[in-house]
Every structure is written in C-alpha cells, then in structure tokens.
Structure 1
Amino acid sequence: MNKKHKDFTKIIKDIMPGFVVAVLVAGLSMLLAKFIPKLGAASIAIFLGMFVGNVFLNQEIFQKGYKFSETDLLSYSIVLLGATLSISTISEIGISGVIFIVLQMTITIIGALYIGKKLGFTDNFRYMMASGNAVCGSSAIAATAPVIEADDKEKGIAITIVNVTGIVLMFLLPVISQFLYNHDLTQTSAMIGGTLQSVGQVVASGAMVSEHTKDLSTIFKIVRIIFLVVVVFALGHLKHKSNKEILKEEVTDIERGKIKVPWYVIGFFITCALFSFNIITQNVSMICKELSNKFEIIALAAIGLRVNVKDLIKQGKAVSLYGLFIGILQIVSAIILIGILL
C-alpha cells in the first residue's frame, strides 16, 4: 500500500509542472478569446502553446504533464461531448441535410486519403487528416490516433494543420455564402456546419452571419460528430487491412470485426445514447458541455506546447499544400451538394 502511495505521488509530481503550464496557457487563451472571439479560445490555445513551448518551456520536466493534458483530458472531453448530443437532432436538418452531411464527409475522407497519398504522406497521417477534416478536428484526430497506432509527432502536426485550415475557412465561408446564397439560412448553415473542422470554428463563423445561422450550422456540425464512431471504425479497419506485417491472429480478429477502439470512443457513444433517451438531463448536459470545452482547450494548449515548430517547418510546403487542397475540395464538394440537395 505504501509503495502504491509513493508511486501515485511520483506520478502526480511528474505530471504537475506540465499540467499547470497547460492550464495557464488555456486560461490565458480563454481570456484572450473574449477580446478576439472570431479566433476562438481553441485556436488561440494551440498557437499560444506552440509559442510558449518552443520559445520558453520545452524542458524535459514539463513533457509528462503536457502528454497527460493532451491525451487524458482530450479523452475525457470526447466522452463528455457525447452527453451534449442527441440522435433526435438529426430530424432538425431533415433527410436531405443528413444525406448532404454523409456525402460531404465521404468525399472529404476519400479526397484526404487520395491527396495525401499523392503528396507522399504516411498512412497514419492521411487517416488523421481524413478524420480531422471530415468530422470534428482535434477530437476526431485524438479518437483516431490510438486505433491506427499513430505517433505523437504525427498527431500534433495533423491537429495543427487541420486547425490552421479551419481558421482560414472560418473567415472565408461567410464571404462565399454571401456571394453564392445571399446568406440563405439553410444553404449558408450547411456550408459552414458541413465544412468547418471544429465546433468552435462553426459557432464563430455562423455568428459572423447571424444568430439563426450559428444555431443551424451547429446542428449540421453535431450530425457530423454523431458519425465519429463510424469514421473511427472505418479508418481503423482500413489501417489494419492494409498493414502487411500484422500477425495471423490479428488478421483473424479483423475478419471477425474485432477492431480495437479506445475506451473514450465507446464512452462517447454511450453518453450520446444516454442523452438521447433523457437519462442524462439537460442540466447535466450543460455541465458536461462546459467541462468538455474546458478540457479540450487545456488539451489543445498541451498539443501546442508539444508541437516542435522545426519539425513543422521541415514538412512545411507539403503539409501546407495538403491542407490547402483538402480545404478547396471541401468547398467545391459542398457547393455542388448544396446545389443538388438543398
């Protein structure tokens, strides 16, 4: 018992320095977001974390705390996010809206995998870019990474690029929607909610148009998030199917459909179901939403703190092109699908 207590104390001591830094960066990001709401706390947390981590606090003493803040808190955030999503939400955008989302996500995933292959990126990086752009940015990448056994460096770079792409589109989509649809509520909301990478970016971009657009855009986004588990399963299956060096018993497991899925993806699905059946009340859901948001911002700050800018610059041109091409693909496919379906 004494040994266990000592081990626990050591773990806390190892984690605390980096965790405190991540919390402080997240807190400062939330404060700054009040003055620049269009950028949002999540985006600020990543870039502020990158600045602090690369210029000041990149010493070894902080690394375990950064890793805990990134992996554990983002996992809890994903589970809590499920408690804010109801399956009945789908009805608010209709069958045509759901079809639009499914087709838009499918095109994004296939396009991201194809473009990444042509640019010479690894399978793991392509799968994370596909899930991050198709579903919900950082959370989707965090859910996908363990399933495909991606390393932390690739995960950090993928999250950064997906968020950078999202920030650019966040400002661009209201302008495109004004030009194409004169800010028609359904079409503009579909463009914003069906394309942007993170919930925060959707809320910020929709708010640039109107309150109603923000609300409907968020519903389109929520429907995408509901498909998170499906996307993680699909990409996990693709990864293991294409791996030539897996053991025979692993092949057998895959053929039987036994794909290893992180606990928090299952947790996300369970909390979503509990909220859908009103077992999780609205009041509890609001608390979960607040906690999920705070955990995500701390985790994103930690991700920024762990991103090595030198590594990012080393891959700069190809990675930037990757993000650009996916962004263009998403806009073009959304325009075509909105024209056909909405």
Structure 2
Amino acid sequence: MTSRALVQAPGLALALAAVGVGALVHLLLPAVPLLTVCVLLGVVAAQVPPAVAVLDGPLRSGLATAAKRCMRIGVVLLGLQLVVGDLLRLGWLTILAVIGVTAFAFAGTYVIGRIARLPGHEPLLFAAGFAICGASAIGAMAAVTRSDAREQSRPVALVTLCGTLAIVVLPLVATAAGMTVPAYGRWTGAGVHDVGQVVATAQEWGSAALAVAIVVKLLRVLLLAPLVAGTGLVLRMRGGAQGGVTAPIVPLFVVGFIVAVALGSLLPIPAPVLGAAQVLQTVLLGMALFGLGSGIRFRALAGTGLRTALAGLSAWALIAVAALAVVYA
C-alpha cells in the first residue's frame, strides 16, 4: 500500500462505516433514504468540536477522496439504471414536459441562487442539485466549475434538507388535491431532487406510483450529461475570453455515464450484475455524501442562514409547482 493510500484509508473507512449505519437505519425505517442518512451523519459529526479537529486533520484526505472520486464513480454506475426504451414508453409529450420543466427549474433556481447572493459558483451547483438529481448532480457540476468540497457544502445541505422535507409534505398535498396514483408518481419523479428521496416519497403510495416516479426521475438524471457539458462549454468560452483557467467541456466521468447508459440500453446485462452495480453505486454515493456532509459547518453558514434557507425553500416550491406540468402532460 502506498503512503498516499495509507493517509486516505482512515477517512475512507469512516465514510464506509457511515454507509453501514445508513443501511441499518434504512432497514429499520424504510421511509428514510440511506443516502440521506449518510449526508446527515456527516453534517452532525461536523458540528461537534472534538470531531471537527479529526475530520479536518487525519481524516480530511480520505474524506475528500470519498467526496470526489467515489461520487464520480457512483454517477457512472447510475447510468446503468437508465434504459432508453423505458423512457420512450412515457410518451413524447411527457418526455418534452420533463425536459421543459427541468430546464425551467435549472434556470429558475440559478436565478434564486443569484438573488440570495450565494458566492462563487454556488448558484450553478445549487441549480444543478435541485433541478437534476441532488448531491450527485452537484458533484458532477463541481467538476466543471472546479469547486471544492467546501463550495459544494451549502448546496448539498439545502438539497438534502428540502428533499427530505418533500418526503413528508408531498404525500399530504397529493392526498388533499385528490391526485391519482399515476399522477402522484409523475409528480414525485419530476419534483423531488435525489433518487433516494424520490423512492422514499413515491413508495408511500405503493409500487405503481413508485414505478412511474422512477422512470420520470431517471429521465431527469439523463439530462445531467448535456447540462454539465453545456455548462462546461460556456465556462470554457468565458474563461478563454477573460484569460482565465478554462473548464473541461465534458468531464471524463460524464463520458463514462453516457457509455453506461448505452451499455444498459443496448446490451442484455444479467440481473445479478445490475444488482451488484446498484449496490456498489449506493455504497460509493453514500461515502461521497458523508464526505461532503462532513465539510458543512453551520457556524460558517450562520451569517447567511435565513437568506440561504429562503433560497432553498423557494427553489423547492418552484420545482414542486413546475412539476405539475408533467402530471398533466
């Protein structure tokens, strides 16, 4: 084992242990997504002064690797879940509605982030997380904005907390509105951020709602690649024009994501292989989210606490309302 691996091992081991705890909590409380538990464990640990010294000291290298490398590999594996044929069965009107809602959500949440005066590239990370697929999209966007874990921490905290709120609120609203089961599935798939949060929200109405929600959600995930590529192109053009550091147009792991989608759609991959890939994907994303959560310091966010909270709630409400277009497409 190299010296670098030895330095990273403690942080990676802690992140892996957090996934184990998350799996146990999810087993006991199925409505609580495993990935949400992982990021919350990191956030809680980061608020304990004795733990902060360790997190920022001997564990930092491994946690940073988890937040970056594990996230990217997990996103690639996520592509194997996408089968283009399943998406096409939604119908072109629904597909166009999802694309339109996602584009509107990205633009709208970006504007909200700017109005809230989120610094640096945080508005872009904020918009990607809320519009596409939570912390996974934030990690992907961070590759082209070259944002470190600390710049990602506020968007990750917002998308996690608001997505968790959706698990409680959306079923209540849907019941009051008299939604049908298929309509509820479409709404949760189009309006909830993280894949795990979509599953947790939709499953409350049964397997029929869950099946619809997952397909709609995975169509939003498919939009991650063009969104990241387009943002990378714009940033590269701006960087070149301003003489600054240019951003990669398409990060290598996004190419891997596209290849994984193609493989999953064109090849008959055995179910055990897909199952193993999904487990590995969950473990890697859980480790990444714990790593990101461990970089969140509420004391550092306190100066913009109300403004940041309002930005998150506004983005959440915007997407929930816009997602109704998919329900009635």
2-structure distance, mates of 1:192, 1:284: 28
- Contact kept, 8 Å, 2:67 with 2:287, in 1: the verdict is yes
2:310 is aligned, of 305, 321, 329, to: 321
Counterpart residue type for residue 146 of structure 2: E
- Check if 1:66 corresponds to 2:63: yes
- Cα distance per residue 1:109-138 (max 9 Å; x no partner): 110111122222235111111111111111
2-structure distance, mates of 1:271, 1:47: 29
- Cα distance per residue 1:81-105 (max 9 Å; x no partner): 1122111121231112211211110
- Contact kept, 8 Å, 2:153 with 2:295, in 1: the verdict is yes
Question: TM-score normalised to the size of structure 1?
Answer: 0.89
Aligned to 1:215: 211
2-structure distance, mates of 1:86, 1:185: 23
- Contact kept, 8 Å, 1:275 with 1:281, in 2: the verdict is no
Aligned to 1:227: 223
2-structure distance, mates of 1:248, 1:73: 29
**Equivalent residue runs for 1:71-220 within 5 Å:** 71-122=68-119, 124-180=121-177, 182-220=178-216
Counterpart residue type for residue 307 of structure 1: I
2:29 is aligned, of 18, 36, 40, to: 36
Q: Which moved more, 1:281-290 or 1:197-206?
A: 281-290
Note closer, same or farther for the CA distance 1:166–1:103 as it changes in structure 2 (3 Å cut). same
Alpha-carbon offset, residue 279 of structure 1 = 5.5
- Cα distance per residue 1:244-285 (max 9 Å; x no partner): 8732895xxx9xxxx532211110100110111116443322
1:57 is aligned, of 47, 51, 54, to: 51
- Contact kept, 8 Å, 2:192 with 2:320, in 1: the verdict is no
Aligned to 1:246: 242
Q: Which moved more, 1:16-25 or 1:277-286?
A: 277-286
Alpha-carbon offset, residue 302 of structure 1 = 1.5
2-structure distance, mates of 1:205, 1:248: 43
Counting matched residue pairs gives 325
- Check if 1:289 corresponds to 2:281: no
Note closer, same or farther for the CA distance 1:133–1:207 as it changes in structure 2 (3 Å cut). same
Counterpart residue type for residue 48 of structure 1: L
- Contact kept, 8 Å, 1:100 with 1:338, in 2: the verdict is no
Query: How large is the RMSD of aligned CA atoms in angstroms?
Result: 2.0
Question: TM-score normalised to the size of structure 2?
Answer: 0.92
Counterpart residue type for residue 85 of structure 2: S
Q: Which runs of 5+ in 1 are unaligned?
A: 1-7
- Check if 1:19 corresponds to 2:12: yes
Seq. identity, %: 22
- Contact kept, 8 Å, 1:33 with 1:40, in 2: the verdict is yes
- Cα distance per residue 1:190-241 (max 9 Å; x no partner): 1100011111111111111111101110111011111110111122234344
1:332 is aligned, of 301, 316, 321, to: 321
1-structure distance, mates of 2:206, 2:197: 14
Counterpart residue type for residue 278 of structure 1: L
- Cα distance per residue 1:19-49 (max 9 Å; x no partner): 1111112211211122222221111111111
2-structure distance, mates of 1:152, 1:249: 19
2:233 is aligned, of 237, 252, 269, to: 237
Note closer, same or farther for the CA distance 1:237–1:179 as it changes in structure 2 (3 Å cut). farther
Instruction: Give 3-state SS (helix, strand or coil) of 1:260's partner.
Output: coil
Counterpart residue type for residue 61 of structure 1: P
- Contact kept, 8 Å, 1:183 with 1:209, in 2: the verdict is no
- Contact kept, 8 Å, 2:187 with 2:324, in 1: the verdict is yes
1-structure distance, mates of 2:74, 2:245: 33
Alpha-carbon offset, residue 328 of structure 1 = 1.1
